[in-house]
């Protein structure tokens, strides 16, 4: 019995669909998966939220335009609450279950320190961590790419400010008791030693707590006239506000990790506080990336874009520029090479973070608190 043309058509139609589907799948570039472990809960959550929003804003715009050489960027985000054990669990999941190309924009020194054995063993790219710890700048066994200044760079500027500009010699420290605190304290001590000075008193408190009452009592009774603060915005603002209420009014400095917008908005009283920053205030910047960032934030209806939004955004920009220079599918080796190349040769990017095209010395900016 002969089959009609119509019968033959319907007989082979499923095979035709299967072939077309297979062809489309094979020709479509794979997505680029990045894993981002940050605090989305706990007293440091606003830091993670702002970093994520900044990065996601740029990636969303890029994906709408076709992504990187046709590959969409999938930023997979997990909450670690700024706790090392949770960061380790997230990192294992990113690598084993999600098969990410790289770890991106991880938040914190204690969390980065906790995952460093994984980084050393697997050599997976660790891109633009939100930390200025020395072991992320100096350890050749970690496949890391940094753009921000180190905590030593920030500590140096803080001590210069307190000693040379404010004429303080009786300086104390309030330190978060973990790897973050240790790293920054080391930088502060080194910077003080250049003036033949030592801290009058060092007080500590536990990460992710507001338990600063004992530290306040210790520093208040020590005779210090200035305090270097190392921690996150919530416990630091409690310390400053309570100190003022107890008629203790030293000058303060703090590190960029504290998140100056959140710290400043939590202060109730007139306070002399300088925070070192690793990116400029985008509202006071003529760089084309500052302008594009502000435009994209307006499109997202973000009324008050912050430096943290901006840092997260720039992380995404630099990643995307570097990735675009590589062939598809994107491979880690090419990515790491092009990240260095992009940072060195893109004048607009380079001038945001370094002092000149001829040097890799990182810029450190300042934010000053003003109660209006």
Write out the two tokens for 21. 């589907």
Write out the two tokens for 3. 């089959």
Tell whether 5 is covered by a domain. Answer: no
Output DSSP code: residue 63.
H
Tens-digit pLDDT profile for the chain (372 aa)? 455 555 544 555 555 455 444 444 456 789 999 999 999 999 999 999 999 999 999 999 999 999 999 999 999 999 999 999 999 999 999 999 999 999 999 999 999 999 999 999 999 999 999 999 999 988 888 999 999 999 999 999 999 999 999 999 999 999 999 999 999 999 999 999 999 999 999 999 999 999 999 999 999 999 999 999 999 999 999 999 999 999 999 999 999 999 999 999 999 999 999 999 999 999 999 999 999 999 999 999 999 999 999 999 999 999 999 999 999 999 999 999 999 999 988 999 999 998 766 566 899 999 999 875
Question: How many Å from the N-terminal Cα to the C-terminal Cα in the chain?
Answer: 93
Whether 73 and 59 have beta carbons less than 8 Å apart is answered as yes
Same domain, 180 and 264: yes
Same domain, 41 and 134: yes
Tell whether 297 is covered by a domain. Answer: yes
Q: Which residues contact 189 (CB under 8 A, 6 or more apart)?
A: 198, 199
Residues of the domain holding 240:
151-277
Question: Can you give the CATH number for the domain in which 63 is found?
Answer: 3.40.50.2300
Same domain, 286 and 138: yes
Q: Residue for token digits 């072991």?
A: 135
Pair type for strands 144-145 and 102-104: unpaired
Out of 224, 245, 277, a domain closes at: 277
Same domain, 45 and 119: yes
Same domain, 248 and 292: no
Overall number of domains in the chain: 2
Whether 17 and 23 have beta carbons less than 8 Å apart is answered as no
């Amino acid at each position: 019995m002969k089959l009609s043309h119509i019968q033959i058509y319907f007989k082979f139609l499923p095979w035709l669909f299967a072939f077309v589907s297979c062809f489309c799948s094979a020709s479509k570039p794979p997505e680029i998966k990045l894993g981002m472990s940050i605090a989305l809960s706990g007293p440091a959550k606003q830091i993670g939220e702002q970093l994520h929003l900044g990065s996601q804003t740029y990636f969303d715009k890029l994906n709408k335009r076709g992504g990187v050489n046709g590959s969409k960027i999938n930023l997979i985000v997990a909450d670690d609450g700024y706790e090392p054990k949770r960061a380790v669990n997230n990192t294992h999941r990113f690598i084993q279950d999600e098969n990410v190309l790289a770890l991106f924009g991880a938040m914190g020194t204690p969390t980065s320190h906790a995952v460093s054995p994984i980084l050393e063993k697997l050599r997976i790219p660790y891109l633009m961590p939100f930390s200025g710890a020395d072991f992320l700048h100096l350890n050749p066994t970690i496949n890391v790419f940094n753009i921000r200044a180190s905590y030593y760079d920030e500590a140096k500027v803080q001590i210069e400010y307190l000693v040379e500009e404010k004429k303080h010699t009786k300086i104390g420290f309030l330190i978060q008791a973990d790897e973050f605190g240790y790293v920054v304290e080391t930088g502060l001590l080194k910077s003080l030693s250049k003036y033949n000075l030592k801290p009058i008193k060092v007080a500590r408190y536990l990460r992710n707590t507001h338990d600063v009452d004992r530290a306040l009592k210790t520093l208040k009774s020590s005779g210090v006239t200035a305090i270097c603060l190392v921690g996150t915005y919530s416990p630091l603002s409690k310390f400053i506000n309570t100190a003022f209420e107890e008629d203790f009014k030293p000058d303060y400095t703090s590190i960029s990790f504290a998140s100056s917008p959140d710290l400043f908005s939590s202060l109730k009283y007139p306070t002399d506080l300088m925070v070192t920053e690793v990116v400029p205030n985008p509202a006071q910047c003529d760089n084309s990336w500052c302008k594009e960032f502000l435009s994209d934030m307006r499109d997202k209806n973000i009324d008050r874009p912050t430096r943290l939004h901006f840092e997260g955004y720039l992380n995404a920009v630099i990643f995307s520029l570097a990735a675009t220079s590589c062939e598809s599918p994107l491979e880690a080796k090419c990515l790491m090479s092009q990240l260095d190349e992009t940072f060195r040769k893109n004048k607009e990017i380079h001038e945001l973070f370094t002092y000149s095209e001829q040097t890799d010395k990182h810029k450190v900016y300042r934010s000053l608190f003003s109660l209006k």
